Amino acid sequence: MKKQGGIVITIIIVVLAALIIFNSNIVLSPGEAAVIFNKVTGNMRLAANPGFYILIPFVESYYRYDIKIQTYTMSQTQWEGEVKGDDSLKALTSDGQVVYLDLTVRYHPDVNKLIKLHKEIGMDYATKVIRPQIRSFARLTISKYPVIDVYSGKREIIQDEIYKKLLKVFKANYIILDEVLLRDVRFSADFQKAIERKQIAQQEAKRMEYLKQAAKIEAEKKVIEAEGEAKALRVKGAALASNPALIQYEYVQKLAPTIQTIITDGKTIISLGDILKYKK
């Protein structure tokens, strides 16, 4: 019996030793940090570098943090964001139009202020800070712009403005903001139809302008041709006035260009060579 009791005691001692060893150290990988809490004193210390850290058994506990760059996405795509389903952000423009935004924010905890982050916010800072602040400042920024600005070339300006606003509030909460990506903007069905109608109207206006220009060019061409014909008639009239024989030449040319001599009344012979000589 004593032997069996000794075995049981030995097993208990081994288990306790294993528990002590297991709870008295922490191994951190690259991109990880830990806040180590002393249950007796209430103090905290930071383990910021990868490696092996020894803890006081049953006195110290730790909270592991991912300090690499992370992303928080709100998207219409079911599987893409942190919240499954359509989690796109709904906002109103300054002229009351509804827009839907897909946003991705890249960030990481400020490792130098990790203890403050843990004390004041906790490990669920994404829920308490990241998500609500993105939604708040994105909506606030969109509300300053009319829908046509959001639709056209001011998306980068809007994205930059959201970034600057979030940068300050994240910093105040011990989080470093790396990037804001305004990935997609969608509009209401009524606005989409209005844009389509506008595009059709613009295309029709361009077509009408093209037809107008073509008609103008054709009219100018006809004026030039008419002026050329008028000038030719004036030159020909002057030539006929100075050499009446040219009338006969024009008549003969219309009959047959290869004829050189004709008899007009059975008596008179006209030599085209003589007429051409006068023409020259």
What's the pLDDT tens digit per position in 141-177?
Answer: 999 999 888 887 788 999 999 999 999 999 999 999 9
Question: What is the reported pLDDT for 278?
Answer: 46
Identify the residue whose tokens are 């004026």.
Answer: 223
Together in a domain, 81 and 55:
no
Question: What is the reported pLDDT for 165?
Answer: 95
Q: What is the largest CA-CA distance in the chain?
A: 167
Together in a domain, 107 and 26:
no
The C-alpha angle 178, 183, 184, rounded to 5 degrees, equals 155
Together in a domain, 224 and 137:
no
The last residue of a domain, from among 187, 210, 226? 187
- CATH value at residue 129: 3.30.479.30
Residue 236 domain boundaries: 194-242
The last residue of a domain, from among 66, 89, 118? 66
Together in a domain, 128 and 170:
yes
**pLDDT grade, residue 52 (50/70/90)?**
very high
Together in a domain, 19 and 81:
no
Together in a domain, 109 and 149:
yes
Say if strands 32-38 and 44-47 run parallel, antiparallel, or are unpaired.
antiparallel
Distance CA 48, CA 28 (A): 9
* CA distances from residue 92 to 7, 96, 102, 103, 138 in whole angstroms, order as listed: 73, 6, 14, 16, 10
**Contacts (Cβ under 8 Å, ≥6 apart) of 55:** 23, 24, 25, 26, 36, 61, 62
Say if strands 70-74 and 175-187 run parallel, antiparallel, or are unpaired.
unpaired
Higher local confidence (pLDDT), 230 or 168: 168
Give how many domains the chain has, as a whole number.
4
Q: Give residue-wise pLDDT tens across range 70-83.
A: 999 999 887 777 77
Chain-centroid distance, C-alpha 75? 15
**Contacts (Cβ under 8 Å, ≥6 apart) of 264:** 248, 270
Together in a domain, 210 and 137:
no
What average pLDDT does the segment 203-225 reach? 69
- Considering 1-10, 56-65, 187-196, the range whose residues carry the highest mean pLDDT is 56-65
